[in-house]
Amino acid sequence: MFQSFDVDASHYLIKPVSRRKLYSVLDHIIKQLNLLKEPPIIVKSGQSTICISCSDLMYLEVNNKTLTLHNQTNTTEVSGKLESVEKNLPARFFRCHRSYIVNMDYIVRFDRMDLHLANGEIIPVSKRKYQDFSSTFLKYMKKEVLL
């Protein structure tokens, strides 16, 4: 057991190993690896510089030149535009509306007008963007399932 610290073991599996437990451990490791290769979002707020993990970021919205970054526990408001951070976001983020960019990992269902997030919040999707969103989201989910 103490040797596991030397090799940075992530988990122990005891034989016989169930598929469910193995897949659960593998999913956890894949998520950890994805966190390592993704740089955080860096925004300036007055004299401060704020780093926000992309995996924690649920959605971004802009209202009257105030950019609000929403994660599971809080929100961060800075002066800015969506365009200023949009180019630095990973592929799982989609601009579904002129005022919103959403992390597709948090979408639990959608319809022609709204995206429903895991925390119960509802984000609008523009009529113009719906078709593109629908196909992008389904391709993204298919890719995630294959991982």
Full pLDDT tens readout for the chain, 147 residues: 566 656 667 677 888 988 888 888 888 887 777 665 677 788 877 777 888 888 889 999 999 989 999 988 888 888 888 898 898 898 899 999 999 999 999 999 999 999 999 999 999 999 999 999 999 999 988 876 655
User: Beta-strand (E) ranges in the chain?
Assistant: 41-45, 48-52, 57-63, 66-71, 75-79, 93-97, 100-103, 107-110, 114-117, 122-124
Every domain of the chain with CATH number 2.40.50.1020 lies at 38-146
Provide the residue type at 77 as one letter. Answer: E
Q: Give the separation between CA 131 and CA 139, rounded to whole angstroms.
A: 13
Stated pTM of the model: 0.71
CB 56 within 8 A of CB 44: no
Task: Name which of 66, 71, 69 is nearest 56 in CA terms.
Answer: 71
The CATH number of the structural domain formed by 38-146 is 2.40.50.1020
CB 88 within 8 A of CB 41: yes
Coil, strand or helix at 25: helix
Token pair for residue 36? 């390592």
**What pLDDT, on a 0 to 100 scale, did the predictor assign at position 34?**
66
**What pLDDT, on a 0 to 100 scale, did the predictor assign at position 15?**
87
Coil, strand or helix at 48: strand
The conformation of residue 106, written as its DSSP 8-state character, comes to: G
